[in-house]
Structure 1
Amino acid sequence: MTNPLLEVSDLSVEFESYEGTHRVLNDVDLTIEEGETVALVGETGCGKSVTAKSIMGTLPRPPGKITSGNIRYRGTDLLANRAEHDRVKGEEMSMIFQDPMTYLSPVYTVGSMMADVATYSGNADVSWFDVLKNLLGRREERESIRERSIELLERMHLPDPEGALDKYPVQLSGGMRQRVIIAMALINEPTFLLADEPTTALDVTVQNQILDLLREHVTDRNLSMLYITHNLGVAREIADKICIMYAGEIVEVGSTDEIFDAPLHPYTRGLLDSIPKLTGFEGDGIDGQIPDYTNPPRGCRFHPRCPAAIAGTCDSEPVEAHAVGESRSVGCHLYEDGMSMDDAMAVATSDATYWSEERPPSAKAGVGSASSGTGTRETGGDQ
C-alpha cells in the first residue's frame, strides 16, 4: 500500500482555562488516502473541530497546545516544520466552514472575497502596497479570476452566478452562501479538503444538494476529504471510511458499510440506535453526556456511559486500538486477546443470552468467568 496523503498519529491537545487544563484530544490516530473521503463522526464537543484545526494549523495557541503527536502530509511532519505547514495550508489544503455568515465578511462582495482568496491564499505577509498594486494593475489576472469564480459558482448551481459576484452575503440565502463558501474553498484547486459540518444549518433539501455537489467535485478532481459531522446518516451518504470519535479519542474505524452493517464499539452502536427510524424511534440512545475534560475518566473515557463496561478493567486500564480486520480497528477492552469478535459484539449489545452460556475456554480472565456454567461478570452499567 502507498503512503497515505495524511497521517495523524498520537495527537494530543490541551486547552488552558480558569477551570484548569482541558485534555481534549488524547492520542488521536487518523489516516486518509489519495482520493479518499473520511468522515469523522461524534457528538457535539467530542473534539472533531479541534482535530480539523490542528490539521489546518489554525488551532488558537494559546489557549490551545499540541502536547504530543505528528501530522504528516505526504510524509512530511507539519508540526515539526511550521514553514511547510503554512505552505501546505495555503497551496494544497482548503476548509469549508459550518456557518457561512461567520466567515463571509458583510462589507465585501462575493466577487472581491473570492478574488482575495485566489490572489493571496498561501501568502502570510501581504502589505497594503501589495493590495493596492493588485487593484491598480494585473487586469488580465483579475479578469481570469472573475471568470474562474463564475465557472465555480455555475458548477455550484448558483442562480445568476455573475450577478452573485456583485452581491453582499446578506443578499443571499443560507444555501446560496454555503455554495459560495464551497466555491471559495475550491477556487485554488486544493488536493485536500476539510469540511466542518457544512450542512448543519441547512434544510434537508439544500443539505442533499450540497452533499451531491461535494461528491461530484471530490470524484471529478480526485480530492481527498475529511468530512466532520455528528450525523451518521450524512456520513453514510458521502464517506468511504468512517472514524468514530468519543471524548477526544478515535474509538472505531471502518469502511462505511462495515460501520453500518456490523458496528463493534458500544458507542457506535449507541449512535446508530439514536437515529430515528421511519417506523418510529425504537432505539434507547445513549445515557449521560461527554465527560469533563479537566478531569476525564480513567481507563476508557466511555466507560461511565457504557452498558458493557467491565469493572476493574474499563475504569482503570488504558485502551488501545485493536485490529479486527485488514482496515478495521476498535478501541475497546472487549476486543483484547482471548475474545472473538462475535463474543465481544454480544457483550457490546448487552445480549443476555451470551452470559447465560458457558464462556469459551480462550476467554480472557477478568472479562468474564469461564469456570461456571452461567458465565458471571461485573459491569459498570445495566445489561
Structure 2
Amino acid sequence: MFVDRAKISIKSGKGGNGSVSFRREPFVPEGGPDGGDGGKGGDVIFMADNNLRTLMDFRYKKKYEAENGQDGMKKKKFGKNGEDLIIKVPPGTVVIDEETGLVMKDLINNGDSFVAAKGGKGGKGNVNFKNSVRQAPNFAESGGFSQTRTVILEMKLLADVGLIGFPNVGKSTLLSIATSANPKIANYHFTTITPNLGVVEIFNTSFVMADIPGLIEGAHQGAGLGLDFLKHIERTKILIHVVDISGSEGRDPISDFDKINNELSSYGEKLMKKPQLVAANKIDMIDEDGEEYQQFKSYVEDKGYRVFPMSAPINQGVHEILAAAASELYKLEQEPQEEETYELFDFDKADYDPNYREINAYKENDIYVLNGKQLEKIFNSTNFNDLGSLRYLYKYIEKNGAIDKLKEIGLEEGDTIRVIDYEFEYTEE
C-alpha cells in the first residue's frame, strides 16, 4: 500500500531527577552530600532513509516516545542519558507541526535529520547545592519536562520526470516500456491509483520517471484523485504531458491538453513554470500527416511546447521523447536550482513558555489550588521531610504573589491549599 500522509504524536524523554545522598563511609565523619545529577531525556529525531518508499508504517503506530533520563545516584554518579528515538521516513517527507500548520523540516536527501522534540535536562544532585552556609542540602533538582507534539508527515515523490494527463491516455504503458517498472495497466479509468516510479536508462545517463495518477477537471479543488497527487508533481523537474491524440474515448485532444494545464495553473504557478514535453500518444490510430494531428501540433507549438508523435504499446517515438527529456534535465542541471520555500516552524518560539513562571490560583470546591510549570518543578524538587526545603517552596509561592491571589478570592486562616498534589492548612504568620 502506498501511503503518503500520516499523523503521529511524539514525546521526548523527561530528564532524570537529581539525587539526594550523603556519604556513608567508615572513618569519614560529616561526609557531606554526594548525590549525582540526573541524565538528560532522549530527543525525538526524524531522519530520511533511502530504504523507505512509503509512510505505511505510521498507519499502524501513532505514538512515539523517547526514553527518559535515569535519576542520579549516590557517590556523585550521574544518571544515564535517555536513548534518542530516531524515526526514519522516506526522502521527500515534509514534517509539519499540526498546531501551527508550519513546516518543521523538509527531509529531501538520504541522511537528512533534525530534532523534533528535545529531551528534558537532567536535574542537579544535592552535591551542587552545598555552600558555605548550607553544608548539608537535603534536596535536589527534578528533571526537566519532556516535549509533546503532534506532527503531520507528508511525502512528496522525488522524481526527475513526471507523466501527467487524463486517465487512460497511456502514461502507465509509457512507463512500463521506458523503464523496468511494472505498473497495472488496463483499459479503464483510474487503473493507476498510486504513483509508480521507474528508472529510465538512456545514452550514458539515467533518470527517475513517475507515473502520476490521471488528473481530471477540478483536480485542484479535490475532484477525483487530484489533490492527493498534484503535490507529487511539485518536485519533478520536467513534465511529459501524455495526450490521447486519437480521441479514442470521444474526447478532444486540444481540450484535454488545455484542461490539464488549467489544473496545473490553478494548483500553483510553480507547476506551469516546469519544462513540459507533449507526447501525442496513440498516433498509430490516426494519420500522422492528417489534419487532426497537424492541427493539434500547431496549436500546442504556438503555446511554446514541443510535440512528439508516439505510440507507447509498439514503442514508436518513445526513444525520441525520452532523449528530449534527458536533454532538458541536462540543461536544468547546469542552472542553479530554486529551493522550495516554506514558512518555517520556530522552535525557539514554540519552546519558550512566557507563562512558565506564572502561578495560577483558583478555588475548587472548598480547596484553594495553586499550579504552574516552574512551581511544579520546584515542588518536585522539594524534600517534605526537610524544613529548609519546605521553607524555600513556601517563599517561592509567597514571593510570586500567589498567596495574595488566593486572598483576593477568599483565602482565610485555616483554609486548605493544594499545591500540585500536596495539601496543607494555611496559617497567618
Say whether the fold is shared (TM-score over 0.5). Answer: no
Larger Rg: 2
Q: TM-score, normalised by structure 1?
A: 0.23
Q: TM-score, normalised by structure 2?
A: 0.21
Which structure has greater helix proportion? 1
Larger relative CO (CA 8 A, sep 6+): 1 or 2?
A: 1
